[in-house]
Structure 1
Amino acid sequence: MSSHDRIEDIEQRIYMAYQEGNFQEAKALETKIKKLKGDDHLYDDNEPYSIEGKIFIDE
């Protein structure tokens, strides 16, 4: 199982936890997924068009 598959599985578990109203589990899983992604996905949390930390506003 690759890390990408594992991340997708955790994202599905997060979705299910929110649907069931289990917010503590969802937050714990979100923390776990951030650790798995690490620095490789540093800019995914930024704006959709950010490149190397520079933000470009979509007009």
Structure 2
Amino acid sequence: AFFPPRERERVAQLLLDRRNLHGSARTLLRTSADPLLLARAAALEEHTDLLLDRHALGAPR
């Protein structure tokens, strides 16, 4: 599911608080992953969802 940036940061902060960890929620959300690799992964996930839906194997949405 999609969360806007402010909500993602809030969830990250709640996770830190719950585990009694100190740090920046924003830092927790940053990634060092290659943006092209992330885009390819997103495209693969979308393609997989389409195939699952086409064959009636996907989860109800």
Shorter-chain TM-score tier: 0.3 to 0.5
**Which has more helix, going by share of residues?**
1
Pair member with larger Rg: 2
